[in-house]
Each structure stands twice: as C-alpha cells, then as structure tokens.
C-alpha cells in the first residue's frame, strides 16, 4: 500500500543559501543507496521535501534497510498517496490506512492536516475534526489526545493527498560528499571502522589505508579488512582501500631501534605514508580510531609523538569513548562480528612486552636517526607497490 516514502532531514534545513547543495547531495546519496535495491524508484525534491516514488513492485524492508544507512536522513515515512476525491472519500481512505497499518486499534490519536494546496475547499481544522469523527466512529476503542497522542496521523493535501503516521528513524548526520574527503587508517580491529563511520556521518567521503605485513599477517587478515571496508562503504559510499606492504619497514625499524619504541616509530611511519596517499586522493584530513589511553600507543604523549609527523588535521572521533561504547556502535553498524575474527594485524606482531607509554619526542627522533640509511627508499618502495582496491 505504500507507494511512496517521505524523507525527513534535520540539519540540512538550517543551511541558509547553501541548502540546495545539501539537498541535492542527499537526493544523490538516496539514489545511490537504492541502486542496489530491486525495483524502480523516482527520487525528487518538492517544496522543501524529498520524496521517493516506488514505480514498480519493491521489497519494503529492503528499501527501509538501505535508506536507514543514508547519512542526512532523520526519518523515513512510508506514505499512502491517494487522489483527491472529496472529503468523504478521504475519510474512508484514512480508515483504510489505519486498518492496514495497525493490528490493534485502541491507541490515542491526533489528526494533523496541512494544506499545501490552499485551494482545497475545506480548512485544515475542519478536516481534522471531520476525520477524527470518522475514525472514532470506525474504531470505538480509539481516543483523541491532542497533546501526547500515540498515533500522530499526518494528512497532507497537495496535488494528491499524502497520509502517513510512522516515522522510522534514519541515521542522522549529513549527506556524504557535502564535507570533503578524508583518509582513514583502517586496521582489522574494532575501533577504526567505527571511526570511519562517524566521520563519514558528518558528510565526509572516505578513502582508507591498510598496512599489512606478509608473511606475519595473512591473506585472510587482508580479506577481513576488505570486508570491513565494504561494511563501512554501505554508509560512506565507495572507498578506495590502499593496501601497503609494511613488512620491510617494520623489520628495518625492529633491527635498528630500541624495541620498546618500535610501535611509536612504526605508527609515525604509518601516518607519514597515510598522509602521502591522503594528499594524492585530495583528502583534507586523516582519521584514526585512537581512543585516549586505550593502549600504550594511545596515551596523550604517544598521540603527540605520532601526530607530530603530519601536517594535515587528524580526526580521532573515538578519543573520548570507552571501549564498550565503541563496541556498541560497531555492533549497531554491523562491523563487530567481522572485527573480532582472530587474525593478527601488523601492529601486534612485534610489540614489546613493555612498550614506552610516555615517549620522549627527542629520544624518538634520535632513534629514528638510525634509520637514515635506508628508510626513505623503503618508504618509497612501500608507496610504489601499494595495491588499491575499490570497495563498494
């Protein structure tokens, strides 16, 4: 019965003169999300609203599922659209609507009519009263409550008449593509996919960099990262995943530098390489899944030491999150199951028993001096041999 969806959006509405840019982006993202759904859909803007007309048979759950991943949508309203055949006929349609949508009819309700077409002969208040009357007649157990109704029945009179009462919450945020691009340092863990999701939610397109270290990390670990990128891309749109072979750099650091500084120095090189690819792909920031104090490399001193190598801003959306809070998000967005598959990632293979937690930047830089001989060449090779996988 629902041949149409009304899309509610929040923050976009307050964007002043740029508003149309945001709306157009949202329409684009909705079209993109619906491309993978069976059926033909027509997405359009009209009078400050976005509508989706379903032009063929479609699967309701499938459509709602894919729309609930489009950032910028605050609510998805399944709408019944009818021709204007007079007030009496409208009353019958409304009763039909309730009959179909609700199994039990004992709720409190309120009818809220809006006349976008002011030429409609009856005023909104009168329509409310008439429809309320018809509903009470048809379903004696329902009651009117104008302050806090359980069912808020919207009737919008336009060229056609729209009836809806349910609002399925969307993910919120802003349409992807309205806020530039950033590059995510993606590992196989729980945190980084969540970080990517959160920044993408603010309208940012995402590229990703993954560091693998064969044979210390397996092909399956890499596949796991591709799978994670694919799950995030359902929200963020296509991701170019850069797979960097980090083995030689890692072993060289292991050979030359104090073992307890290995992780910090490694992460500094990861940031440098990630920044290189970020520039190349016109990203304006880096994203990491770091959370303050979670591990040795995420103390405030360690973050300062890794941050020092980049000139781009580094977004760390999880910085103030507890592990459980991160897990909650990852479960909600569907990355958790994949994240916990047991494959070793390159950060943990050579980790010292007691890595430094309060690195001294000068000491780190002194240790890095020992790498001068070969490191530039190794970094160059790593960059040149990077494999790019387009994930969508």
Partner 1 sequence: MEAYLDNSATTRCSELVRDVVVRTMMEDYGNPSSKHRKGLDAEHYLRDARETIARTMKVNEKEIFFTSGGTESDNWALIGAAMANRRTGMHLITTAVEHAAVLMPMQYLKEQGFSVTYLPVDGRGRISLSDLEAAIREDTILVSMMYVNNEVGTVEPVEEAARLIKKKNPRTLFHVDAIQAYGKFAIYPKRAGIDMLSVSGHKIHGPKGIGFLYINEKVKIHPLILGGGQQKGMRSGTDNVPGAAGLAAAAKDAYEHLEQNVEYLKKLRGRMLDGLRALNEQLEDGQQSQEEKAGNVRLKNRAEEGERAGERQPEKKAGETVLSDGKLQTKERAGRSGQQGMQAVVINSGEDEYSAPHIVSAAFPGIRSEVLLHALEDRGICVSAGSACSSNKKLPVSTVLKELHLRPELQESTLRFSFSCLTTEEEIDYCLETLGELLPVLRRYIRR
Question: Judged by CB under 8 A, does residue 301 bind partner 1?
Answer: no
**CA angle 27–191–337, rounded 5-degree value:** 85
Give me the 218-257 binding string for partner 1, x by CB under 8 A, dash otherwise.
Answer: xx-------------------------------x--x---
Task: Provide the minimum distance between the beta carbon of 214 and partner 1 in the complex, in angstroms, as a whole number.
Answer: 6
What are the angstrom distances between the C-alpha of 361 and each of 162, 358, 387?
64, 9, 32
Contact between 202 and 228 under an 8 Å Cβ cutoff? The reply is: no
In a 3-state reduction of DSSP, which class is residue 88?
helix
Count the helices and strands in the chain (H runs, E runs): 13, 15
d(CA 201, CA 221): 26
Give me the 257-296 binding string for partner 1, x by CB under 8 A, dash otherwise.
Answer: --x-------------------------------------
DSSP for 175-232 reads -TTSS-EEEEE--SSSHHHHHHHHHHHBT-EEEEEEEE-TTTS-HHHHHHHHHHHHHH
Tell me how many residues contact partner 1 (CB under 8 A): 14
d(CA 348, CA 203): 32
Residue closer to partner 1 by CB (options 295, 310) is 295
* Residues 3-42 interacting with partner 1 (rule: CB under 8 A): none
Give the single-character DSSP code of 284: -
- To 10 degrees, the CA torsion angle through 309, 310, 315, 320? 20
Task: Provide the minimum distance between the beta carbon of 353 and partner 1 in the complex, in angstroms, as a whole number.
Answer: 8
Residue closer to partner 1 by CB (options 29, 247) is 247
CB atoms within 10 A of CB 247: 19
Residue closer to partner 1 by CB (options 344, 373) is 344
Residue closer to partner 1 by CB (options 344, 392) is 344
Residue closer to partner 1 by CB (options 201, 222) is 222
Task: Provide the minimum distance between the beta carbon of 301 and partner 1 in the complex, in angstroms, as a whole number.
Answer: 23
d(CA 211, CA 31): 33
Residue closer to partner 1 by CB (options 349, 388) is 349
* Residues 328-367 interacting with partner 1 (rule: CB under 8 A): 342, 344, 349-350, 352
Residue closer to partner 1 by CB (options 2, 210) is 210
Task: Provide the minimum distance between the beta carbon of 273 and partner 1 in the complex, in angstroms, as a whole number.
Answer: 21
As a residue count, the chain comes to 392
d(CA 279, CA 14): 32
Residue closer to partner 1 by CB (options 320, 342) is 342
Give me the 60-99 binding string for partner 1, x by CB under 8 A, dash otherwise.
Answer: ----------------------------------------
CB atoms within 10 A of CB 58: 18
Give me the 199-218 binding string for partner 1, x by CB under 8 A, dash otherwise.
Answer: ---------------xxxxx
Q: Nearest to residue 22, comparing CAs of 178, 179, 171?
A: 178
Task: Provide the minimum distance between the beta carbon of 227 and partner 1 in the complex, in angstroms, as a whole number.
Answer: 16
Structure tokens at 189: 């863990």
Residue closer to partner 1 by CB (options 92, 348) is 348
Task: Provide the minimum distance between the beta carbon of 231 and partner 1 in the complex, in angstroms, as a whole number.
Answer: 21
First vs last Cα of the chain: how many Å apart?
32
Q: What residues line the site for partner 1 (CB under 8 A)?
A: 214-219, 251, 254, 259, 342, 344, 349-350, 352
């Amino acid at each position: 019965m629902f041949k149409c969806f009304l899309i509610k959006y929040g923050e976009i509405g307050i964007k002043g003169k740029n508003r149309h840019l945001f709306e157009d982006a949202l329409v684009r993202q909705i079209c993109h999300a619906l491309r993978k759904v069976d059926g033909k859909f027509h997405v359009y803007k009209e009078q400050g609203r976005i509508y989706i007309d379903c032009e063929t048979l479609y699967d309701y759950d499938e459509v709602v599922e894919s729309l609930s991943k489009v950032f910028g949508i605050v609510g998805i309203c399944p709408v019944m659209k009818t021709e204007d055949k007079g007030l009496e006929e409208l009353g019958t349609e409304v009763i039909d609507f309730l009959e179909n949508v609700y199994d039990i009819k004992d709720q409190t309700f309120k009818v809220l009519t809006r006349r976008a077409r002011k030429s409609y002969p009856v005023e909104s208040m009168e329509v409310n009263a008439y429809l309320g009357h018809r509903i009470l007649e048809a379903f004696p157990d329902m009651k009117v409550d104008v302050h806090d109704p359980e069912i808020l029945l919207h009737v919008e009179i336009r060229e056609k008449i729209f009836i809806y009462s349910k609002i399925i919450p969307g993910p919120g945020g802003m349409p992807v593509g309205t806020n530039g691009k950033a590059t995510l340092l993606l590992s196989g863990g729980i945190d980084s996919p969540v970080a990517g999701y959160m920044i993408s939610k603010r309208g940012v397109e995402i590229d990703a960099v993954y560091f693998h270290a064969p044979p210390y990390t397996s092909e399956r670990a890499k596949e796991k990262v591709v799978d994670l990128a694919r799950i995030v891309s359902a929200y963020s749109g296509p991701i170019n995943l850069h797979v960097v072979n980090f083995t030689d750099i890692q072993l060289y650091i292991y050979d030359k530098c104090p073992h307890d500084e290995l992780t910090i120095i490694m992460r500094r090189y990861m940031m440098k390489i990630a920044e290189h690819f970020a520039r190349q792909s016109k990203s304006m920031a880096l994203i990491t899944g770091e959370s303050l104090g979670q591990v040795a490399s995420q103390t405030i001193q360690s973050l300062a030491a890794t941050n020092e190598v980049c000139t781009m801003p580094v977004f760390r959306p999880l910085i103030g999150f507890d592990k459980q809070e991160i897990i909650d998000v990852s479960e909600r967005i569907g990355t958790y199951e994949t994240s916990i598959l047991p494959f070793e990632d390159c950060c943990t293979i050579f980790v010292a028993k007691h890595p430094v937690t309060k690195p001294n930047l000068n000491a780190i830089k002194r240790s890095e001096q020992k790498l001068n001989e070969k490191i530039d060449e190794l970094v160059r090779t790593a960059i040149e041999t990077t494999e790019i996988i387009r994930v969508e």
